[in-house]
Amino acid sequence: MAAKSEQGQKGCKPRGNLRRLIDPILAKALAHPLRGHILATLGDRIASPSEIARELGIDARDLNYHFGVLVEIGMITLVHTRKRRGVLEHFYELDPPAVLVEDPGWSELPEPVRASISTSLLQVAIDDAVDALRAGTFNSRNSHQSRTTMILDEQGCNDVFELMQTTLERVLEVGRQCSKSLKKKPDEGTPVEVFMMGFETAAAAARQADRGATEAG
Tell me the pLDDT tens digit for each residue of 52-66.
999 999 988 889 999
The rounded radius of gyration (Å) of the Cα atoms in the chain is 22
* Burial class of residue 76 (count of CB atoms within 10 Å of its CB; 0-12, 13-18, 19+): buried
pLDDT band (50, 70, 90) for residue 159: very high
d(CA 53, CA 41): 11
Dihedral over Cα of 120, 38, 92, 53: its sign? positive
d(CA 64, CA 43): 18
Predicted confidence at residue 156, as pLDDT, reads 93
The DSSP code sequence of 68-91 is HHHHHTTSEEEEEEEEETTEEEEE
Predicted confidence at residue 4, as pLDDT, reads 40
Nearest to 92 by CA among 75, 106, 73: 75
pLDDT band (50, 70, 90) for residue 17: low
pLDDT average, residue stretch 23-33: 72
